[in-house]
Amino acid sequence: KDGYRDILQERRGDLDLGFTFKSFHNVPTYKYHSPRNYSKLKTDVLSSDRLKYTIERLSGEDKVKEALLRKEAELMYTDMAHLLNLKGVRTMAFMAIKVFKALFRRVYVNEEGVNRLQHIMQEYPVVLMPTHRSYMDFVLVTFVCYHYNLPVPAVAAAMDFKGMKLMGWLLQNCGAFYIRRSFGSDHLYWAIFTEYVQTQLKNGDHPLEFFIEGTRSRTNKSYIPKIGMLAASLESYFKAELPDVMIVPVSLTFDRIVEESLYAFELLGIPKPRESTSGLLKARKILSEDFGSVHIHIGEAISIRQVSDGKIDRVSHALEPRYINSLSGDEQILITNLAYQIVKQQQRQFIIPPGTLLATVFIQHAARGLHINELSKKVDWLKRQACNLGAYVDWPGNVSLMNVIHMCLRLHKNILKLNEQDVSSSSQSSSSSPSHPLNSSSLLLDASNYLMLASYRNHVTHLFVDVAMVMMAIKSRSKHCRELSLGAILFLKFFFSSFHCNMKTT
């Protein structure tokens, strides 16, 4: 449909083992790639000029023997590095296809984006930047690469996952490299991380993948981007070690998010369960639930060479060793602006499921509920407004409006219920977590319901922000003077963006 292909459809009729052990052909490879194994990559990182310089400097400053620092660096590398291999990828593919066929009706991928990716992976180093709304994001992107015979990416993952028995090892064998959530002032760790990222980009070992938001969004809104790994990835270009780097924003849209209730509990103050294999096994009961479809949109690549043309001077680094971390003020500004550009492109690529529109309408009337006819009319109106603003609304063809509403209610039956002709919030929202402590309080259950509805509403917030600013500017004028003031709109945008940034830093 409209350029999207359901890659689960053909899998449902085939043996999963056939998919797992399929042969690979015409896999795109970076034209300057030089094959090397795990041991060679480790040697290249630990013997790099960057690491030698850092160890010498730290040894002089902290009066620590260089041999001890080298040993510590080797341990850091071992903790961090991925073990990407075909056996691990095939094992994950076998498990993933089983899980996806149980959870999702369809997994749609825009094949135009796949075709673009196949071409640019041969010409340039590639960094994939997916949205992060679910634990499923990493596995889905890797699954798509495996399905289309694309190189499997090396993915930055939080160190928390390394502690998962068996699963932590399996993820590492599928390309996950584990990093701390914060490096602080640990210069040795920074040096190993930076060298590890940059040497893989320069040699074209694998595409890199990381989440620009840093962590999963619990609210389904886009978070303020983190620029640390982006800066490390682009430094090689700024220092003329690479002719270009291609950033590929990837947007994943879920009809229903697997962790929806878990996010609501976290927002209500319930501590997040620690990542563990036992916890993963206990959660297998969700395999009997319906989570609708997933849309994966691979966007147009952003060329760093084009973005930075005329904005930075790469010659400024010519008089200093390339292994010394240093970015100019212009380069830092460029990286920050680029990070926001990536987030905006991810938002533009989002698909709008009908259930999102229904939640957006219903949450305004959650206290009293809505008659299904009134709800249908409002959803239909909102759909037209979203389309007018350029959104891709995943509205089923040749299906009546009322049938679409009923389909959405069935999909989200854990938070919405239909009593005769009235739609109201369900009080039995924790079907996927019956033993959760929230089940003992109806007030907290109602709050978790509201937060889950709000998370789906948040998926379309970016569409209407500019319109809302205009309406606020108009409403702020007197009744006798409704002239639209551009200055008022710009003030509101500046005020809310500044307020949001200040809230993040306090």
- Per-residue tokens: 457: 């509403």
Query: Do 318 and 411 fall into the same domain?
Result: no
The single residue listed with the structure tokens 């309080």 is 441
How far is Cα 420 from Cα 372, in angstroms, rounded to an integer? 9
Q: How far is CA 155 from CA 207, 231, 349, 395, 396, in A?
A: 9, 16, 21, 33, 34
Model confidence over 45-100: pLDDT tens digits? 999 999 999 999 999 887 789 999 999 999 999 999 999 999 999 999 999 999 99
Does 116 lie in the same domain as 11? yes
Domain shared by 376 and 332, yes or no: no
Q: What is the pLDDT of residues 276-306, one digit of tens each?
A: 777 777 778 888 899 999 999 999 999 999 9
- Quote the DSSP letter at residue 151: P
Q: How far apart are CA 299 and CA 252, in angstroms?
A: 11
Same structural domain for residues 74 and 201?
yes
Residue 426 lies in a domain: yes
- Both 134 and 172 in one domain: the answer is yes
> For position 344, which CATH number holds?
3.40.1130
Q: Are residues 452 and 372 part of one domain?
A: yes
Task: Establish if 278 belongs to a structural domain.
Answer: no
Q: Is there a domain that residue 281 lies in? A: no
Task: Please give the chain's pLDDT, 506 residues, in tens.
Answer: 688 999 999 888 778 888 999 988 889 999 999 999 999 999 999 999 999 999 999 998 877 899 999 999 999 999 999 999 999 999 999 999 999 999 999 999 999 999 999 999 999 999 999 999 999 999 999 999 999 999 999 999 999 888 888 889 999 999 999 999 888 889 999 999 999 999 999 999 999 999 999 999 999 999 999 999 999 999 999 999 999 999 999 999 999 999 999 999 999 998 888 877 777 777 788 888 999 999 999 999 999 999 999 999 998 888 888 888 789 999 999 999 999 999 999 999 999 999 999 999 999 998 888 999 999 999 999 999 999 999 999 999 899 999 999 999 999 999 999 998 999 988 643 444 444 544 556 788 889 999 999 999 999 999 998 888 888 887 777 665 556 667 777 888 788 776 555 544 44
| Total count of domains within the chain | 3
If you count DSSP H runs as helices and E runs as strands, how many of each does the chain have, helices first? Answer: 21, 14
Residues 338 and 379 grouped into a single domain: no
Residue with tokens 């002089």: 60
Among residues 301, 328, 349, which one ends one of the domains? Answer: 349
How many angstroms separate the Cα of 301 from the Cα of each of 121, 239, 288? 11, 21, 37
Residue 437: inside a domain: yes
Q: What is the torsional sign of CA 400, 404, 405, 406?
A: positive
Note whether 303 and 415 are same-domain residues. no
Position 321 scores a pLDDT of 87
Domain that holds residue 499: 467-506
One-letter identity of residue 128: L
Picking from 330, 349, 368, the residue at the C-terminal end of a domain is: 349
Q: Is the residue at 270 inside a domain?
A: no
pTM (two decimals): 0.91
Q: In this structure, are 71 and 216 located in the same domain?
A: yes
Within a domain: 264: no
Supply φ then ψ for residue 492, to 5 degrees: -65, -40
- Same structural domain, 197 and 245: yes
Residue 223 burial (CB count, 10 A): 18
Residue 174 belongs to some domain of the structure: yes
Note whether 332 and 405 are same-domain residues: no
- State residue 428's pLDDT score: 42
CA-to-CA distance for 308 and 305, rounded, in angstroms?
A: 5
Final residue belonging to a domain, choices 318, 349, 380: 349
What distance in Å separates the CA atoms of residue 456 and residue 404, rounded to the nearest whole number? Answer: 17
Dump the DSSP string for 332-356: HHHHHHHHHHHHHHHHHT-EE-HHH
Same domain for 356 and 328: no
Question: Does any domain span residue 195?
Answer: yes
CA distances from 464 to 127, 458, 460, 470, 475 (A): 30, 10, 7, 10, 16
